[in-house]
Amino acid sequence: MRIAYDIIGNKEKAVALLGVNVKNPKKAAKEIMKRHKNVKSVLQKLSERTDIFRLYPIKLLAGSKNTEVIHKEHGYLLKLDPKKVYFSPREATERQRIAEMVRPGENILVFFSGAAPYSIAISKKEPLCKITNVEINLKAVEYAEKNVRLNGLHNIKNYCGDARYIRNLGKFDRIIMPLPETAIEFLDEAFLHSKKGATIHLYGLSKEKNIKDLEKKVKEIAKIYNIKYKIIERQNVLPYAPRIQKVRLDIKIL
**Residue 12 maps to which CATH number?**
3.30.300
Number of folded domains that form the chain: 2
**Distance of alpha carbon 222 from alpha carbon 19, whole angstroms:** 36
The pLDDT value given to residue 47: 74
Same domain, 44 and 147: no
- The answer to the question of residue 49 being in a domain is yes
In a domain, 82, yes or no: no
- pLDDT given at position 208: 67
Tens-place pLDDT, residues 47-79: 776 677 778 789 999 999 999 999 999 999 999
Are 119 and 208 in a shared domain? yes
What mean pLDDT do residues 90-101 have?
97
CATH number assigned to the domain comprising residue 130 = 3.40.50.150
Q: Are residues 198 and 107 in the same domain?
A: yes
Q: Identify the residue with better confidence: 147 or 51.
A: 147
The Cα–Cα gap between 240 and 131 comes to 28
Shared domain check, 94 and 63: no
Instruction: Provide mean pLDDT across the span 98-117.
Output: 98
Q: What is the DSSP letter of 195?
A: E
139 and 29 housed in the same domain: no
For residue 213, being part of any structural domain is answered with yes
- 5-9/172-177 β-pairing: unpaired
244 and 211: one domain? Answer: yes
Q: CA–CA distance from 146 to each of 23, 54, 176 (Å)?
A: 36, 20, 21
* Residue among 162, 92, 91, 154 at smallest CA distance from 128: 154
User: How far apart, in whole angstroms, are the C-alpha atoms of residue 161 and residue 135?
Assistant: 6
Task: For residue 60, give its domain range.
Answer: 5-67
Residue 80 lies in a domain: no
pLDDT digits (tens, 9 = 90+) for 22-44: 888 899 999 999 999 999 999 99
Instruction: Give Cβ neighbours of residue 160 (< 8 Å, ≥ 6 apart).
Output: 135, 136, 137, 138, 141
pLDDT of residue 13: 97
Q: Are 44 and 104 in the same domain?
A: no
Q: For the whole model, what pTM was predicted? A: 0.94
